[in-house]
Amino acid sequence: MYTQFLGNYLLQKGIVTKEQLFNAMSRLPQTHIKLGTIAIHEGLMTANEVDECLYVQTREDKRFGEIAVERGYLSDEQVNQLLAMQTPEFLLLGQNLVEDGVFSYEELERIMFDYRSEAELYDLSLDVENQEAVEAIISKFFLMAEIPPNELNIMYLELMFNSLIRFIGEDFTPLTPMVIEEFPVTFGVSQNIFSDHEFETHIDCDRETAIAFASRYAKEDFNEFNEYIVASMEDFLNLHNGLFIVNVSNQLSKDISLSPPEVIEDGILSGPNKCVDFPVEYPFGTVHLLVCF
């Protein structure tokens, strides 16, 4: 999971110009991944080894994979595995920039390493017990809700727990999720996500809990319920959903958009299809994370 789109990262580091990036991005729909690029990404070959095989390829009429196997850099099995892999979109972008001569494979290898260490959000790696609990809860949820556990849905929920850990703290206990028809709202914020289908996420808690939640998120000591509390809750949800969309943009070519977050007080929440309540218990109170599909 990434916190920043690769193109954005390259631009900010001054590695590419806007023109170079724009050129490389505009060709993405027609770009096919090369075995060498993905082998570097998977850590199976070094950039030098890829360059060597590419050089040999200009002299011998053989496939890249064949040459890499002959030279002992890859096994047949690894070649097949690499060919079957789904390619993250950011890797295609990197490959286009190499082809445009913006940087070499060797530089791409280093850039990827830095990008991963700076822009990757490690999957619930803070606490193994917590990670297992969350994974169990997510798989149980899909079973209960009779929703197909597709890649997007799983990514969304895992990221939600990651966002809680990252922005609020890891001292929470996930409670049992429930599928519900309607949810009585005390106070909370909602945001709609538009993709292949539309769904809505809502965060709900009482006002005292909201004050504590907001204080942690904004790293400020709030004492009373005011507009900053509401804004913090909205920001958290907006940031989480934004990161989700960046991840989807990095991994798959999907167009997803967000509506501005909204405050809901003392109403009833219902979705077109199903709503699921994921309660998490923090020392300061219970926060309900609701996803309405």
Partner 1 sequence: MDISSKKILVCDDSILARKQLMDAVKEIADGATFIEGKNGSEAVDLYKSEKPDLVFMDIVMPEKDGTTALAEIREYDKDAVIIIVSSVGTQEQLKKAIQLGAKDFIQKPFEKNQIKEIIELRLGGK
**Which stretches of the chain bind partner 1, using CB under 8 A?**
3-5, 7-8, 11-12, 18, 21-22, 25-26, 28, 89, 93, 218, 227-228, 231-232, 234-235, 238-239, 241-243, 245-246, 248-249, 253, 255-260
The least CB distance from residue 19 to partner 1, in Å, is: 9
Cα distance between residue 113 and residue 226, in whole Å? 43
Q: Which of 197, 201, 195, 188 is closest to 160 using CA atoms?
A: 201
Q: State which residue, 180 or 258, has the beta carbon closest to partner 1.
A: 258
Q: State which residue, 21 or 165, has the beta carbon closest to partner 1.
A: 21
In the block, residue with structure tokens 């002959």 = 70
Q: In this structure, how many other beta carbons lie within 10 angstroms of the beta carbon of residue 97?
A: 24
The least CB distance from residue 195 to partner 1, in Å, is: 12
Q: State which residue, 78 or 247, has the beta carbon closest to partner 1.
A: 247
The least CB distance from residue 20 to partner 1, in Å, is: 11
The least CB distance from residue 246 to partner 1, in Å, is: 5
Q: State which residue, 175 or 256, has the beta carbon closest to partner 1.
A: 256
Cα distance between residue 13 and residue 154, in whole Å? 31
189: which 2 tokens? Answer: 């914020």
The least CB distance from residue 74 to partner 1, in Å, is: 30
Q: State which residue, 58 or 257, has the beta carbon closest to partner 1.
A: 257
CA distances from 121 to 18, 50, 268 (A): 26, 28, 34
The least CB distance from residue 145 to partner 1, in Å, is: 27
Q: Which of 30, 7, 29 is closest to 17 using CA atoms?
A: 7
Q: Which of 168, 162, 153 is closest to 134 using CA atoms?
A: 162
CB-CB contact of 242 with 258 (8 Å): yes
Q: What type of residue is 166?
A: R
Q: State which residue, 171 or 220, has the beta carbon closest to partner 1.
A: 220
